Amino acid sequence: MRMGGERPLEPLASSAGPGRGSTFTVRLPAVEAVRTTTPAAISRPPPRARRILVIEDNDDAREMLRECLALSGHEVQGARDGATGLALAERISPEVALIDIGLPDMDGYEVARRLRSARDGTISLIALTGYGQPEDRRRALEAGFDMHLTKPVETERLEEVMAAVGKKRRPASF
């Protein structure tokens, strides 16, 4: 079958008979490659590598976040509950802590209060939680969080927030 000056169309499906299988042919037109990087993305400097603590009780979410941040060059440690996170923070002295609010042993608000007290303001605290109501945001700031983010959060947004809170709080060694 011909249409105008085009090549003949080939059958889209064929078979040699019952029980002999089928062949399906799909032909797509060739297109030029799409440029995926924008000038803004090229000119943006890479994020400064940070020591990050992720306190998240969901194993898959914690590991995915840890891997994602590590691919960006950060040193990332994770804990599945508040007590483990507090002990780990004492050992590794993180610059940033990403804390879920709904933890099994103590809520993230209490973890933030304890970290803020123990680290004397030298840590940036980000609530990364499914609790996104105005009351949740208010409680997070009162507990000492620098920022409240509602899940899910894109990696680019998380990097922007970490850069912004890092400018507000710098450890004395910087």
pLDDT reported for residue 27: 80
Residues 6+ away with beta carbon under 8 Å from 22: 13, 14, 15
* Cα gap 23→173, rounded to integer Å: 67
Angle at which helix 59-71 crosses helix 155-168, to 10 degrees, equals 70
> Which residue ranges make up each domain of the chain?
50-168
Alpha-carbon gap, residue 146 to 164, rounded angstroms: 10
Range picked from 15-19, 79-83, 122-126 for highest mean pLDDT: 79-83
Look at residue 155 and give its three-state secondary structure: helix
Confidence bin at 54 (pLDDT 50/70/90): very high
What pLDDT, on the 0 to 100 scale, is given for residue 172? 34
Residues of the chain above pLDDT 70, percent:
80
| pTM flag (> 0.95) | no
Q: How confident is the model at residue 120 (pLDDT cuts 50, 70, 90)?
A: confident
Q: Average pLDDT for residues 26-52, to the nearest whole number?
A: 69
Confidence of residue 10 (pLDDT cuts 50, 70, 90): low
List of E strands, the chain: 13-15, 22-24, 51-55, 75-79, 96-99, 124-129, 147-150
- The CATH architecture one would assign to domain 50-168 is 3-Layer(aba) Sandwich (3.40)
Is the omega angle on the peptide bond into residue 152 within 30 degrees of 0, that is, cis?
yes
Q: What is the CA radius of gyration of the chain?
A: 25
